[in-house]
A and B are shown apart, each in its own frame.
Chain A
Amino acid sequence: MVEDFNCDYADTLDRGEIEKWPDFFTDDGVYRLIARDNAESNLPLPLMYCDGKGMLKDRAYAIAHTEMFAPRYTMHQIAQVRILGFEDDIVSAQANYVLYETLIDEPTHLLQCGKYHDRFLLQGDRLLLKQRNCIYDTLLIPTCIVFPP
Protein backbone atom coordinates (compact mmCIF):
# COMPACT_ATOMS: atom_id res chain seq x y z
CA MET A 1 0.00 0.00 0.00
CA VAL A 2 2.86 2.41 0.80
CA GLU A 3 4.56 1.31 -2.42
CA ASP A 4 1.38 2.05 -4.39
CA PHE A 5 1.17 5.45 -2.72
CA ASN A 6 4.77 6.26 -3.63
CA CYS A 7 4.15 5.13 -7.24
CA ASP A 8 1.22 7.54 -7.52
CA TYR A 9 3.23 10.31 -5.86
CA ALA A 10 6.12 9.86 -8.29
CA ASP A 11 3.89 9.52 -11.36
CA THR A 12 1.90 12.63 -10.49
CA LEU A 13 5.02 14.75 -10.03
CA ASP A 14 6.78 13.26 -13.05
CA ARG A 15 3.75 14.02 -15.24
CA GLY A 16 4.20 17.65 -14.14
CA GLU A 17 0.88 17.77 -12.26
CA ILE A 18 2.35 19.78 -9.42
CA GLU A 19 -1.00 21.23 -8.40
CA LYS A 20 -2.19 17.73 -7.43
CA TRP A 21 0.81 17.33 -5.09
CA PRO A 22 -0.97 18.79 -2.01
CA ASP A 23 -3.68 16.11 -2.39
CA PHE A 24 -1.20 13.51 -1.12
CA PHE A 25 -1.16 15.20 2.29
CA THR A 26 -3.56 15.59 5.20
CA ASP A 27 -4.81 19.12 5.92
CA ASP A 28 -2.16 19.44 8.62
CA GLY A 29 0.46 17.62 6.53
CA VAL A 30 4.06 18.74 6.83
CA TYR A 31 6.64 18.54 4.05
CA ARG A 32 10.31 19.24 4.66
CA LEU A 33 13.29 18.95 2.36
CA ILE A 34 16.41 18.95 4.53
CA ALA A 35 20.11 18.59 3.79
CA ARG A 36 21.50 15.55 5.58
CA ASP A 37 24.28 17.74 6.98
CA ASN A 38 21.74 20.07 8.61
CA ALA A 39 19.66 17.14 9.89
CA GLU A 40 22.65 15.40 11.44
CA SER A 41 23.95 18.65 12.95
CA ASN A 42 20.56 19.42 14.56
CA LEU A 43 20.14 22.51 12.40
CA PRO A 44 16.43 23.01 11.70
CA LEU A 45 16.56 24.88 8.36
CA PRO A 46 14.76 23.09 5.49
CA LEU A 47 15.30 23.93 1.83
CA MET A 48 11.55 23.62 1.27
CA TYR A 49 9.13 23.67 4.16
CA CYS A 50 5.34 23.39 3.97
CA ASP A 51 3.56 23.42 7.31
CA GLY A 52 0.00 22.47 6.40
CA LYS A 53 -2.00 22.24 3.20
CA GLY A 54 -2.09 26.00 2.69
CA MET A 55 1.67 26.17 2.33
CA LEU A 56 1.67 23.05 0.13
CA LYS A 57 -0.84 24.73 -2.17
CA ASP A 58 1.11 27.99 -2.22
CA ARG A 59 4.29 26.13 -3.16
CA ALA A 60 2.45 24.19 -5.88
CA TYR A 61 0.84 27.37 -7.25
CA ALA A 62 4.18 29.20 -7.36
CA ILE A 63 5.81 26.35 -9.28
CA ALA A 64 2.88 26.07 -11.66
CA HIS A 65 2.32 29.78 -12.30
CA THR A 66 4.80 32.31 -10.96
CA GLU A 67 8.35 30.98 -10.72
CA MET A 68 10.79 31.49 -13.59
CA PHE A 69 12.71 28.35 -14.56
CA ALA A 70 13.68 26.40 -17.64
CA PRO A 71 11.20 23.67 -18.60
CA ARG A 72 12.24 20.26 -17.33
CA TYR A 73 11.21 16.66 -16.84
CA THR A 74 11.67 15.01 -13.50
CA MET A 75 11.95 11.28 -12.82
CA HIS A 76 11.50 10.01 -9.28
CA GLN A 77 12.74 6.52 -8.38
CA ILE A 78 11.47 5.40 -5.00
CA ALA A 79 12.80 2.13 -3.63
CA GLN A 80 13.56 0.09 -0.52
CA VAL A 81 10.29 0.97 1.15
CA ARG A 82 10.31 -0.18 4.75
CA ILE A 83 7.40 -0.06 7.19
CA LEU A 84 8.71 0.91 10.59
CA GLY A 85 5.51 0.87 12.63
CA PHE A 86 1.71 0.98 12.66
CA GLU A 87 -0.18 2.47 15.57
CA ASP A 88 -3.54 4.28 15.84
CA ASP A 89 -4.02 4.65 12.05
CA ILE A 90 -0.49 6.06 11.67
CA VAL A 91 1.98 4.17 9.51
CA SER A 92 5.64 5.08 9.90
CA ALA A 93 7.75 4.26 6.88
CA GLN A 94 10.90 5.15 5.06
CA ALA A 95 12.17 4.79 1.51
CA ASN A 96 15.14 5.76 -0.60
CA TYR A 97 14.53 8.22 -3.42
CA VAL A 98 16.50 9.30 -6.44
CA LEU A 99 15.43 12.27 -8.54
CA TYR A 100 16.72 12.81 -12.07
CA GLU A 101 16.13 15.97 -14.03
CA THR A 102 16.23 16.56 -17.78
CA LEU A 103 16.52 19.99 -19.39
CA ILE A 104 16.53 21.00 -23.04
CA ASP A 105 19.89 20.36 -24.76
CA GLU A 106 21.48 19.05 -21.58
CA PRO A 107 22.23 15.49 -20.52
CA THR A 108 19.94 14.07 -17.85
CA HIS A 109 21.50 14.67 -14.44
CA LEU A 110 21.08 13.44 -10.91
CA LEU A 111 19.35 16.19 -8.93
CA GLN A 112 18.91 14.45 -5.60
CA CYS A 113 19.28 11.22 -3.73
CA GLY A 114 17.98 10.83 -0.24
CA LYS A 115 15.58 9.16 2.14
CA TYR A 116 11.93 9.77 2.85
CA HIS A 117 10.99 9.61 6.52
CA ASP A 118 7.19 9.35 6.40
CA ARG A 119 4.21 9.26 8.68
CA PHE A 120 1.01 8.24 6.86
CA LEU A 121 -2.54 8.52 8.08
CA LEU A 122 -4.59 5.43 7.13
CA GLN A 123 -7.97 6.85 6.19
CA GLY A 124 -10.41 4.13 5.09
CA ASP A 125 -8.65 2.38 2.24
CA ARG A 126 -6.20 5.14 1.42
CA LEU A 127 -3.07 6.69 2.84
CA LEU A 128 -2.33 10.39 3.27
CA LEU A 129 0.96 11.92 4.32
CA LYS A 130 0.92 13.54 7.73
CA GLN A 131 4.63 14.13 7.36
CA ARG A 132 7.25 13.62 4.69
CA ASN A 133 10.79 14.60 5.64
CA CYS A 134 13.11 14.23 2.68
CA ILE A 135 16.69 14.06 3.92
CA TYR A 136 19.04 14.49 0.96
CA ASP A 137 22.66 13.36 0.58
CA THR A 138 23.30 15.53 -2.49
CA LEU A 139 24.37 18.54 -0.45
CA LEU A 140 25.81 20.54 -3.33
CA ILE A 141 22.66 21.29 -5.31
CA PRO A 142 23.07 21.78 -9.06
CA THR A 143 21.62 25.30 -9.64
CA CYS A 144 18.28 24.86 -7.86
CA ILE A 145 15.44 22.50 -6.97
CA VAL A 146 12.16 23.45 -8.58
CA PHE A 147 9.91 20.39 -8.22
CA PRO A 148 9.76 18.76 -4.79
CA PRO A 149 11.46 15.39 -4.29
Chain B
Amino acid sequence: MSNTCRFIENGETRAESDLSDLVWPNDPAAIPDWVYTDRRVYDLEQQRIFRGRTWNYVALEVELPKPGDFIRSYIGETPIVVVRGQDGEINAFENRCAHRGVEFCKTYRGSAKQFVCPYHQWTYDLTGKLKSVPFRRGVQGQGGMPPDFKMEEHGLRRLSVTTRRGAIFASCADDMESLEDYLGPDMLDQYDTMFDGRPLKLLGIHRNIIPGNWKLYQENLKDPYHATLLHTYLTTFGLFVAGNKTLIVADEKGRHSSLCSRRPEGRLESDATTSQIGSFHATMKLADPRVLELIKESDSPWNSNAITIWPNLIAIRQSNIFSVRHIVPMGPDEFMLIWVNFGFADDTPEMEAHRLRQNNIFGPGGFIGIDDNEAIKFVNDGLQRSQPRPGVVSLGRDDEPPETVITDRAIRGMYRHYREAMGL
Protein backbone atom coordinates (compact mmCIF):
# COMPACT_ATOMS: atom_id res chain seq x y z
CA MET B 1 0.00 0.00 0.00
CA SER B 2 1.28 3.45 -0.78
CA ASN B 3 1.40 6.60 1.31
CA THR B 4 -2.00 8.05 2.22
CA CYS B 5 -0.94 11.19 4.14
CA ARG B 6 -2.43 14.34 2.60
CA PHE B 7 -2.16 18.10 2.99
CA ILE B 8 -5.80 18.68 3.75
CA GLU B 9 -7.02 16.31 6.39
CA ASN B 10 -10.65 15.84 7.29
CA GLY B 11 -11.95 18.50 9.60
CA GLU B 12 -8.78 20.59 9.46
CA THR B 13 -9.59 24.28 9.70
CA ARG B 14 -7.18 27.13 9.81
CA ALA B 15 -7.78 30.45 11.51
CA GLU B 16 -7.93 33.16 8.88
CA SER B 17 -6.81 36.75 9.35
CA ASP B 18 -9.37 39.52 9.46
CA LEU B 19 -9.27 41.19 6.02
CA SER B 20 -12.26 43.49 6.55
CA ASP B 21 -10.10 46.62 6.19
CA LEU B 22 -9.27 45.65 2.60
CA VAL B 23 -11.91 47.00 0.24
CA TRP B 24 -11.88 46.32 -3.48
CA PRO B 25 -12.56 49.49 -5.54
CA ASN B 26 -15.96 49.67 -7.25
CA ASP B 27 -14.36 50.10 -10.67
CA PRO B 28 -13.82 46.59 -12.17
CA ALA B 29 -10.82 48.02 -14.05
CA ALA B 30 -9.05 49.06 -10.84
CA ILE B 31 -6.63 46.80 -8.93
CA PRO B 32 -5.89 47.76 -5.32
CA ASP B 33 -2.22 47.89 -4.24
CA TRP B 34 -2.82 45.56 -1.30
CA VAL B 35 -3.15 42.50 -3.53
CA TYR B 36 0.58 42.96 -4.17
CA THR B 37 1.75 44.06 -0.73
CA ASP B 38 -0.36 42.60 2.10
CA ARG B 39 1.03 39.58 3.94
CA ARG B 40 -2.45 38.40 5.01
CA VAL B 41 -3.58 38.33 1.39
CA TYR B 42 -0.43 36.44 0.46
CA ASP B 43 -1.02 33.83 3.17
CA LEU B 44 -4.64 33.39 2.08
CA GLU B 45 -3.47 32.91 -1.53
CA GLN B 46 -1.22 30.06 -0.43
CA GLN B 47 -4.18 28.40 1.26
CA ARG B 48 -7.01 29.08 -1.20
CA ILE B 49 -5.14 29.12 -4.50
CA PHE B 50 -1.90 27.13 -4.33
CA ARG B 51 -3.13 24.58 -1.76
CA GLY B 52 -6.69 24.89 -3.07
CA ARG B 53 -8.49 23.53 -6.09
CA THR B 54 -5.78 24.16 -8.69
CA TRP B 55 -3.41 22.12 -10.83
CA ASN B 56 0.10 23.45 -10.25
CA TYR B 57 2.95 22.81 -12.67
CA VAL B 58 5.78 21.01 -10.84
CA ALA B 59 8.14 19.36 -13.35
CA LEU B 60 8.68 17.97 -16.83
CA GLU B 61 8.70 14.20 -17.25
CA VAL B 62 12.01 14.46 -19.11
CA GLU B 63 13.57 15.58 -15.81
CA LEU B 64 12.65 12.17 -14.31
CA PRO B 65 13.39 9.63 -17.02
CA LYS B 66 14.01 6.55 -14.82
CA PRO B 67 12.45 5.03 -11.67
CA GLY B 68 14.00 6.71 -8.63
CA ASP B 69 14.82 9.96 -10.48
CA PHE B 70 13.70 13.01 -8.53
CA ILE B 71 13.81 16.81 -8.53
CA ARG B 72 13.15 19.48 -5.92
CA SER B 73 10.16 21.59 -6.83
CA TYR B 74 7.47 23.79 -5.27
CA ILE B 75 3.71 24.05 -5.00
CA GLY B 76 3.11 27.71 -4.25
CA GLU B 77 5.83 28.58 -1.74
CA THR B 78 5.95 25.03 -0.34
CA PRO B 79 9.00 22.91 -1.22
CA ILE B 80 8.13 19.50 -2.62
CA VAL B 81 9.90 16.52 -4.17
CA VAL B 82 8.73 15.03 -7.46
CA VAL B 83 9.93 11.47 -8.03
CA ARG B 84 9.31 8.61 -10.42
CA GLY B 85 8.41 5.52 -8.40
CA GLN B 86 9.63 1.99 -9.02
CA ASP B 87 6.37 1.34 -10.87
CA GLY B 88 7.12 4.24 -13.25
CA GLU B 89 4.33 6.39 -11.80
CA ILE B 90 5.12 9.93 -10.69
CA ASN B 91 4.75 10.85 -7.03
CA ALA B 92 4.93 14.27 -5.41
CA PHE B 93 5.13 15.04 -1.71
CA GLU B 94 6.12 17.77 0.68
CA ASN B 95 9.87 18.22 1.21
CA ARG B 96 9.42 18.14 4.97
CA CYS B 97 10.12 15.24 7.26
CA ALA B 98 7.01 14.23 9.22
CA HIS B 99 9.14 14.04 12.36
CA ARG B 100 10.71 17.45 13.02
CA GLY B 101 10.06 19.39 9.81
CA VAL B 102 13.43 18.95 8.14
CA GLU B 103 13.56 19.93 4.46
CA PHE B 104 15.39 16.73 3.68
CA CYS B 105 15.96 16.97 -0.09
CA LYS B 106 18.71 19.52 -0.65
CA THR B 107 19.75 18.82 -4.24
CA TYR B 108 18.13 20.03 -7.44
CA ARG B 109 17.96 16.52 -8.85
CA GLY B 110 19.19 12.99 -8.37
CA SER B 111 18.20 9.36 -8.20
CA ALA B 112 17.21 7.51 -5.03
CA LYS B 113 15.81 4.18 -3.85
CA GLN B 114 14.35 5.84 -0.75
CA PHE B 115 14.53 9.18 1.07
CA VAL B 116 16.32 9.30 4.41
CA CYS B 117 15.98 12.37 6.60
CA PRO B 118 19.55 13.30 7.63
CA TYR B 119 18.54 14.46 11.12
CA HIS B 120 17.16 11.25 12.70
CA GLN B 121 17.20 8.89 9.70
CA TRP B 122 13.45 8.46 9.31
CA THR B 123 13.18 6.66 5.99
CA TYR B 124 10.46 7.02 3.35
CA ASP B 125 9.80 5.04 0.19
CA LEU B 126 9.32 6.68 -3.21
CA THR B 127 5.60 7.24 -2.54
CA GLY B 128 6.47 9.13 0.66
CA LYS B 129 5.32 6.31 2.96
CA LEU B 130 7.24 6.07 6.24
CA LYS B 131 9.22 2.81 6.16
CA SER B 132 11.44 2.94 9.21
CA VAL B 133 12.09 4.90 12.40
CA PRO B 134 15.42 4.16 14.12
CA PHE B 135 15.08 2.93 17.73
CA ARG B 136 11.31 2.83 17.32
CA ARG B 137 11.22 0.27 20.18
CA GLY B 138 13.99 2.02 22.13
CA VAL B 139 17.16 0.34 23.36
CA GLN B 140 17.11 -2.62 25.75
CA GLY B 141 13.42 -2.12 26.35
CA GLN B 142 13.80 1.56 27.30
CA GLY B 143 12.60 4.62 25.37
CA GLY B 144 11.38 4.59 21.80
CA MET B 145 8.09 5.60 20.29
CA PRO B 146 4.84 4.99 22.18
CA PRO B 147 3.29 1.58 21.37
CA ASP B 148 0.37 3.26 19.60
CA PHE B 149 2.62 5.16 17.15
CA LYS B 150 1.17 4.49 13.69
CA MET B 151 3.69 4.48 10.84
CA GLU B 152 0.96 5.06 8.25
CA GLU B 153 -0.01 8.40 9.84
CA HIS B 154 3.52 9.78 9.56
CA GLY B 155 4.21 9.62 5.87
CA LEU B 156 5.21 12.67 3.84
CA ARG B 157 2.18 14.74 2.85
CA ARG B 158 1.38 13.58 -0.63
CA LEU B 159 -0.07 15.49 -3.60
CA SER B 160 -2.37 14.42 -6.41
CA VAL B 161 -0.46 14.19 -9.67
CA THR B 162 -1.45 14.32 -13.31
CA THR B 163 0.53 14.55 -16.53
CA ARG B 164 -0.11 15.54 -20.08
CA ARG B 165 2.34 15.26 -22.98
CA GLY B 166 5.43 15.54 -20.82
CA ALA B 167 4.42 18.13 -18.20
CA ILE B 168 3.60 17.18 -14.60
CA PHE B 169 1.01 18.96 -12.47
CA ALA B 170 0.18 18.47 -8.80
CA SER B 171 -2.63 19.46 -6.49
CA CYS B 172 -3.26 19.41 -2.77
CA ALA B 173 -6.90 18.60 -3.53
CA ASP B 174 -7.78 14.91 -3.78
CA ASP B 175 -10.78 15.29 -6.04
CA MET B 176 -9.57 17.65 -8.76
CA GLU B 177 -11.23 17.60 -12.15
CA SER B 178 -9.01 16.33 -14.97
CA LEU B 179 -6.31 18.69 -16.24
CA GLU B 180 -8.19 18.70 -19.56
CA ASP B 181 -11.37 19.96 -17.86
CA TYR B 182 -9.33 22.40 -15.75
CA LEU B 183 -7.90 23.95 -18.93
CA GLY B 184 -11.10 23.90 -20.96
CA PRO B 185 -11.23 23.18 -24.72
CA ASP B 186 -9.68 26.41 -26.04
CA MET B 187 -6.77 26.40 -23.60
CA LEU B 188 -6.25 22.68 -24.10
CA ASP B 189 -5.77 23.43 -27.77
CA GLN B 190 -3.19 26.08 -26.85
CA TYR B 191 -1.46 23.68 -24.46
CA ASP B 192 -1.25 21.03 -27.18
CA THR B 193 0.34 23.53 -29.56
CA MET B 194 3.13 23.94 -27.02
CA PHE B 195 3.35 20.26 -26.01
CA ASP B 196 2.70 18.86 -29.46
CA GLY B 197 3.32 15.20 -28.63
CA ARG B 198 6.98 15.00 -29.63
CA PRO B 199 9.19 13.59 -26.83
CA LEU B 200 11.04 16.44 -25.11
CA LYS B 201 14.77 16.93 -24.61
CA LEU B 202 15.84 19.03 -21.63
CA LEU B 203 18.22 21.86 -22.61
CA GLY B 204 18.73 23.53 -19.24
CA ILE B 205 17.35 25.65 -16.45
CA HIS B 206 17.66 29.29 -15.35
CA ARG B 207 16.63 30.52 -11.91
CA ASN B 208 16.15 34.06 -10.72
CA ILE B 209 14.48 36.02 -7.96
CA ILE B 210 12.39 39.02 -8.93
CA PRO B 211 11.36 41.68 -6.42
CA GLY B 212 7.60 41.86 -6.90
CA ASN B 213 4.39 40.01 -6.23
CA TRP B 214 3.94 36.72 -8.10
CA LYS B 215 0.70 37.91 -9.75
CA LEU B 216 2.62 40.64 -11.58
CA TYR B 217 4.26 37.90 -13.60
CA GLN B 218 0.93 36.33 -14.56
CA GLU B 219 -0.27 39.82 -15.52
CA ASN B 220 2.85 40.44 -17.60
CA LEU B 221 2.00 37.47 -19.84
CA LYS B 222 -1.64 38.58 -20.08
CA ASP B 223 -0.65 42.07 -21.18
CA PRO B 224 -0.25 42.45 -24.96
CA TYR B 225 -0.14 46.25 -24.52
CA HIS B 226 3.33 46.12 -22.93
CA ALA B 227 4.51 43.44 -25.36
CA THR B 228 4.06 45.73 -28.32
CA LEU B 229 5.59 48.75 -26.54
CA LEU B 230 8.43 47.66 -24.23
CA HIS B 231 10.31 45.03 -26.18
CA THR B 232 12.50 46.13 -29.08
CA TYR B 233 13.15 42.53 -30.08
CA LEU B 234 9.42 41.80 -30.32
CA THR B 235 8.43 45.01 -32.08
CA THR B 236 11.33 45.77 -34.42
CA PHE B 237 11.63 42.18 -35.64
CA GLY B 238 7.88 41.53 -35.74
CA LEU B 239 7.83 38.69 -33.18
CA PHE B 240 4.88 40.27 -31.39
CA VAL B 241 3.68 43.68 -32.46
CA ALA B 242 0.44 45.54 -32.99
CA GLY B 243 -0.45 44.95 -36.63
CA ASN B 244 0.51 41.25 -36.55
CA LYS B 245 -2.21 38.65 -36.85
CA THR B 246 -3.00 38.12 -33.17
CA LEU B 247 -5.39 36.12 -31.02
CA ILE B 248 -6.09 36.35 -27.30
CA VAL B 249 -7.68 33.26 -25.78
CA ALA B 250 -8.88 32.68 -22.22
CA ASP B 251 -10.74 29.87 -20.50
CA GLU B 252 -14.34 30.29 -19.37
CA LYS B 253 -13.33 31.35 -15.84
CA GLY B 254 -10.66 33.79 -17.00
CA ARG B 255 -7.83 32.05 -15.10
CA HIS B 256 -5.78 30.79 -18.05
CA SER B 257 -4.94 32.70 -21.21
CA SER B 258 -2.82 32.69 -24.32
CA LEU B 259 -1.50 35.47 -26.54
CA CYS B 260 -0.92 34.14 -30.03
CA SER B 261 0.90 35.95 -32.79
CA ARG B 262 2.03 35.26 -36.33
CA ARG B 263 5.21 36.86 -37.63
CA PRO B 264 4.79 38.90 -40.79
CA GLU B 265 6.71 38.03 -43.95
CA GLY B 266 9.73 40.30 -44.17
CA ARG B 267 10.38 43.40 -42.15
CA LEU B 268 7.96 45.92 -40.71
CA GLU B 269 8.08 49.41 -42.14
CA SER B 270 7.62 52.67 -40.28
CA ASP B 271 3.94 53.50 -40.35
CA ALA B 272 1.14 54.97 -38.24
CA THR B 273 1.22 51.96 -35.87
CA THR B 274 4.96 51.58 -35.40
CA SER B 275 5.39 55.34 -34.99
CA GLN B 276 3.63 55.00 -31.62
CA ILE B 277 6.04 52.32 -30.43
CA GLY B 278 9.05 53.78 -28.66
CA SER B 279 10.97 50.53 -28.84
CA PHE B 280 10.57 50.19 -32.63
CA HIS B 281 13.92 50.78 -34.36
CA ALA B 282 13.19 50.86 -38.11
CA THR B 283 16.86 50.83 -39.14
CA MET B 284 18.19 48.32 -36.59
CA LYS B 285 19.85 45.36 -38.28
CA LEU B 286 21.38 42.34 -36.63
CA ALA B 287 24.99 41.51 -37.44
CA ASP B 288 23.98 37.85 -37.04
CA PRO B 289 20.31 37.28 -37.92
CA ARG B 290 20.45 33.56 -37.06
CA VAL B 291 19.02 34.43 -33.64
CA LEU B 292 15.68 35.33 -35.21
CA GLU B 293 15.55 32.63 -37.85
CA LEU B 294 12.26 30.72 -37.91
CA ILE B 295 12.68 27.05 -38.81
CA LYS B 296 9.30 25.53 -39.59
CA GLU B 297 8.56 22.63 -37.26
CA SER B 298 4.81 22.86 -36.75
CA ASP B 299 1.56 23.29 -38.65
CA SER B 300 0.26 25.82 -36.13
CA PRO B 301 -0.92 29.10 -37.69
CA TRP B 302 0.90 30.85 -34.82
CA ASN B 303 4.63 31.47 -34.42
CA SER B 304 4.28 32.38 -30.80
CA ASN B 305 1.97 31.32 -27.97
CA ALA B 306 2.44 32.97 -24.59
CA ILE B 307 0.34 30.75 -22.35
CA THR B 308 -0.51 31.33 -18.70
CA ILE B 309 -1.93 28.44 -16.71
CA TRP B 310 -3.32 29.40 -13.34
CA PRO B 311 -1.78 29.72 -10.88
CA ASN B 312 1.92 29.07 -11.46
CA LEU B 313 2.84 28.24 -15.05
CA ILE B 314 3.92 30.28 -18.03
CA ALA B 315 4.47 28.19 -21.16
CA ILE B 316 6.16 29.96 -24.05
CA ARG B 317 6.55 28.94 -27.63
CA GLN B 318 8.30 31.70 -29.59
CA SER B 319 9.66 30.83 -33.04
CA ASN B 320 11.85 27.80 -32.17
CA ILE B 321 12.05 28.46 -28.41
CA PHE B 322 10.07 26.19 -26.11
CA SER B 323 10.18 26.89 -22.40
CA VAL B 324 8.13 26.83 -19.25
CA ARG B 325 8.48 29.27 -16.39
CA HIS B 326 7.49 28.02 -12.96
CA ILE B 327 6.38 30.83 -10.62
CA VAL B 328 7.35 30.26 -6.97
CA PRO B 329 5.98 32.93 -4.59
CA MET B 330 8.42 33.88 -1.81
CA GLY B 331 6.39 36.44 0.16
CA PRO B 332 4.15 39.31 -1.01
CA ASP B 333 7.05 41.19 -2.60
CA GLU B 334 9.29 38.48 -4.06
CA PHE B 335 9.07 35.42 -6.27
CA MET B 336 11.40 32.91 -7.86
CA LEU B 337 11.18 31.98 -11.51
CA ILE B 338 12.42 28.60 -12.70
CA TRP B 339 12.85 28.71 -16.50
CA VAL B 340 12.97 25.20 -17.95
CA ASN B 341 13.98 25.17 -21.59
CA PHE B 342 13.59 22.24 -23.90
CA GLY B 343 13.86 21.02 -27.45
CA PHE B 344 12.79 17.67 -28.82
CA ALA B 345 14.39 14.25 -28.78
CA ASP B 346 14.57 14.14 -32.57
CA ASP B 347 16.33 17.53 -32.93
CA THR B 348 19.39 17.48 -35.16
CA PRO B 349 22.57 18.97 -33.62
CA GLU B 350 22.00 22.01 -35.88
CA MET B 351 18.45 22.45 -34.57
CA GLU B 352 19.62 22.22 -30.98
CA ALA B 353 22.38 24.78 -31.64
CA HIS B 354 19.75 27.04 -33.22
CA ARG B 355 17.46 26.73 -30.17
CA LEU B 356 20.38 27.60 -27.86
CA ARG B 357 21.22 30.70 -29.95
CA GLN B 358 17.58 31.77 -30.09
CA ASN B 359 17.23 31.36 -26.32
CA ASN B 360 19.24 34.59 -25.99
CA ILE B 361 15.85 36.26 -26.35
CA PHE B 362 14.47 34.95 -23.04
CA GLY B 363 15.71 34.20 -19.55
CA PRO B 364 17.19 36.40 -16.81
CA GLY B 365 19.85 37.54 -19.31
CA GLY B 366 17.63 37.62 -22.38
CA PHE B 367 16.89 40.54 -24.70
CA ILE B 368 13.21 40.39 -23.65
CA GLY B 369 13.74 38.80 -20.23
CA ILE B 370 15.81 41.76 -19.01
CA ASP B 371 13.10 44.26 -20.05
CA ASP B 372 10.35 42.35 -18.24
CA ASN B 373 12.26 41.50 -15.09
CA GLU B 374 13.30 45.13 -14.72
CA ALA B 375 9.77 46.41 -15.43
CA ILE B 376 8.32 44.16 -12.70
CA LYS B 377 10.97 45.33 -10.23
CA PHE B 378 10.07 48.94 -11.11
CA VAL B 379 6.38 48.20 -10.43
CA ASN B 380 7.35 46.72 -7.08
CA ASP B 381 9.53 49.74 -6.23
CA GLY B 382 6.52 51.98 -6.89
CA LEU B 383 3.99 49.84 -5.04
CA GLN B 384 6.15 49.29 -1.96
CA ARG B 385 7.47 52.82 -1.53
CA SER B 386 4.64 55.18 -2.49
CA GLN B 387 1.14 55.93 -1.22
CA PRO B 388 -1.45 53.31 -2.28
CA ARG B 389 -3.38 54.14 -5.44
CA PRO B 390 -5.31 51.58 -7.51
CA GLY B 391 -3.76 50.39 -10.77
CA VAL B 392 -5.70 50.96 -14.00
CA VAL B 393 -6.44 48.09 -16.39
CA SER B 394 -9.21 49.61 -18.50
CA LEU B 395 -7.94 49.06 -22.05
CA GLY B 396 -10.35 47.34 -24.42
CA ARG B 397 -13.68 45.69 -23.62
CA ASP B 398 -14.60 42.32 -22.18
CA ASP B 399 -16.81 41.49 -25.19
CA GLU B 400 -14.31 42.57 -27.84
CA PRO B 401 -13.21 40.38 -30.77
CA PRO B 402 -10.39 37.98 -29.74
CA GLU B 403 -7.95 39.57 -32.18
CA THR B 404 -7.96 42.89 -30.25
CA VAL B 405 -4.37 43.64 -29.17
CA ILE B 406 -4.55 46.87 -27.19
CA THR B 407 -6.48 45.44 -24.28
CA ASP B 408 -6.32 44.48 -20.60
CA ARG B 409 -9.15 41.97 -21.02
CA ALA B 410 -7.10 38.97 -19.89
CA ILE B 411 -5.87 40.77 -16.75
CA ARG B 412 -9.42 41.77 -15.78
CA GLY B 413 -10.54 38.19 -16.35
CA MET B 414 -7.82 36.89 -14.05
CA TYR B 415 -8.86 39.24 -11.25
CA ARG B 416 -12.53 38.30 -11.59
CA HIS B 417 -11.52 34.71 -10.97
CA TYR B 418 -9.06 35.71 -8.25
CA ARG B 419 -11.69 37.59 -6.26
CA GLU B 420 -14.02 34.63 -6.44
CA ALA B 421 -11.33 32.13 -5.40
CA MET B 422 -10.16 34.40 -2.57
CA GLY B 423 -13.58 35.60 -1.40
CA LEU B 424 -12.46 39.23 -1.76
Contacts and interface: CB of A to CB of B under 8 A. Distances in A.
B198 interface: no
Given A59-B360, A70-B378, A142-B209, A38 B367 contact: no
Nearest to A148: B365
B377 interface: yes
A43 B232 contact: no
Given A48-B360, A54-B288, A144 B373 contact: yes
B359 interface: yes
A17 interface: no
A50 B208 CA distance: 21
Interface string A38-58: 100101111111111111011
Interface in B196-218: 202-211
Interface in A52-82: 52-55, 57-59, 61-62, 65-70
A139 interface: yes
Nearest to A147: B365
Contacts of A140: 207-209, 336
Question: In this complex, which of A50, A52, A143 has the most chain B Cβ atoms within 10 angstroms of its Cβ?
Answer: A143
B351 interface: no
Contacts of B209: 140-143
A141 B364 contact: yes
Interface residues of A, number: 37
B374 interface: yes
B230 interface: yes
Interface in B333-377: 336, 341, 352-353, 356-357, 359-360, 363-365, 367, 369-371, 373-375, 377
B149 interface: no
Contacts of B367: 62, 66-67
A144 B205 contact: no
Contacts of B286: 54, 58
Interface string B138-182: 000000000000000000000000000000000000000000000
Given A47-B363, A66-B279, A52 B205 contact: no
A66 B375 CA distance: 14
Given A143-B211, A143-B373, A143-B377, A46 B288 contact: no
A121 to B, nearest CB: 20
A35 B373 CA distance: 19
Contacts of B374: 68-70, 143-144
Nearest to B204: A45
Interface in B102-122: 108-109
B96 interface: no
A141 B339 CA distance: 12
A14 B96 CA distance: 44
B206 A68 contact: no
A45 B287 contact: no
Contacts of B360: 48-50, 55, 59
B369 A144 contact: yes
A143 B210 contact: yes
Interface in B254-298: 279, 281, 284, 286-288, 290-291
Interface string A115-149: 00000000000000000000000011111111000
A33 interface: yes
Contacts of A51: 288, 353, 357
Contacts of B373: 143-144
B370 A67 contact: yes
A46 B210 CA distance: 20
Contacts of A141: 206-209, 364-365
Contacts of A47: 206, 363-365
B357 A143 contact: no
A55 B363 contact: no
Nearest to A54: B288
Contacts of B363: 47
Given A37-B108, A54-B286, A141-B364, A68 B205 contact: no
29 contacts: A35-B206, A37-B108, A43-B204, A44-B352, A45-B205, A45-B206, A45-B341, A46-B359, A49-B356, A50-B360, A51-B357, A55-B290, A55-B357, A58-B291, A67-B371, A68-B279, A68-B370, A68-B371, A68-B375, A69-B371, A70-B374, A70-B378, A140-B207, A140-B336, A141-B206, A141-B364, A143-B364, A144-B364, A144-B373
Given A58-B291, A68-B375, A142-B208, 13 more contacts: A35-B204, A37-B108, A47-B206, A50-B360, A53-B287, A57-B288, A68-B230, A140-B208, A141-B208, A143-B211, A143-B377, A144-B365, A144-B369
Sort A-B residue pairs by CB-CB distance and give the 5 closest, nearest first.
A45-B204, A54-B288, A54-B287, A43-B204, A66-B232
